[in-house]
Amino acid sequence: MNKVVDIRTAIDKIKSGDKVAVGGFGNVGGPMNLLYELEKHPEINHLTTISEDFQMSETPYNQGFTGLLLNGQIDEIVVSFFGHKKAQAKVDAGEVKLTLIPQGTLAERLRAAGAGLGGFYTPTGVGTVVEEGKETKVINGKKYLLELPLKANVALVKAYKADRMGNAVFAYTAQNFNTAMATAADIVILECEKLVENGEIVPDQVQLPGVFVDYVVHCEEVHY
């Protein structure tokens, strides 16, 4: 089995209007090459991005969402943390919609989508603005909010090492949101620094099983 494709072929799988889940925490574990390729195709737009934060920098090949945002390819940003002036200006001008989700709730909503759950009750956000409009339930005397699964059309994720079947290994803390994002999307595109042959990764060291992955793109290592 061989899921390896060139980066252009992979990006063509993204359709305008898609919800795109993007792995990474800050720049660590972010699929920088895939994002960079996506911004070269401004005809793919009206996207909703789902990510831990909205990483932006000025460095080529490592600029996160900068190009996508400035190209006007993004209609809605779903994040837990957000803090960039250029992005804030777009939100203030009403050009981009911003949805904030507590970080643990974001991870768990993605997991719920990937795990086929109808939702879950969490104590996070009880008594805050996060509770507004949500069903609540008292379980064993404690109040919880019902949070629903968060599904994406496409996930862009990044691993340190992958084989041609998409079995992946992450470096240190670069696993972060990558696994949850990958399980929550219909189409999963995995960028890897190092491509190995099937069977070369020890089975019990696989962190993201290849069954979740549709396309593998071998990219240059990005230095943050």
Partner 1 sequence: MAVNKRETIAKNIARYFHDGDFVNLGVGIPTLSANYIPEGTEIILHAESGFAGQDGAITPPWDVNDREACDRELNNPKWADKENGWKIGHKDICDASGNLAILSKGASCFDSVVSFMMARGGHLDATVLGGLQVDEEGNLANWMVPGKNIPGMGGAMDLVSGAKKVIVAMEHNAKDGAPKVLKKCVFPLTAINCVSVLVTDICIIEFIDGKMTVVAMAPGMTKEELQKRTEATIHFADKIDVMDIVEE
Binding interface with partner 1 (CB under 8 A): 25-29, 52-53, 55, 79-83, 88, 98, 100, 102-105, 107-108, 110-111, 122-130, 160, 170-180, 207, 223-224
Retrieve residue 92's tokens.
Answer: 């203030």
Nearer to partner 1 among residue 11 and residue 21 (C-beta): 21
List of residues 6+ apart from 35 with CB closer than 8 A: 22, 63, 64, 65, 67, 68, 156
In degrees, rounded to 5, the angle at the alpha carbon of residue 179 between the alpha carbons of residues 71 and 62 is: 35
Nearer to partner 1, 107 or 187 (CB): 107
Name the minimum Å distance from CB 145 to partner 1.
Answer: 10
Distance of closest approach, residue 46 Cβ to partner 1, in angstroms = 23
Instruction: Output the smallest distance, CB 151 to partner 1, in A.
Output: 16
Q: State in angstroms the smallest separation of the CB of 185 from partner 1.
A: 15
Nearest partner of 98 among 74, 73, 117, 125, judged by Cα: 74
Residues 6 or more apart from 93 whose CB is under 8 A from it? Answer: none
Q: Three-state SS for 183? A: helix
Between 43 and 132, CB nearer to partner 1 = 132
Instruction: Please say which residue, 128 or 198, places its beta carbon nearer to partner 1.
Output: 128
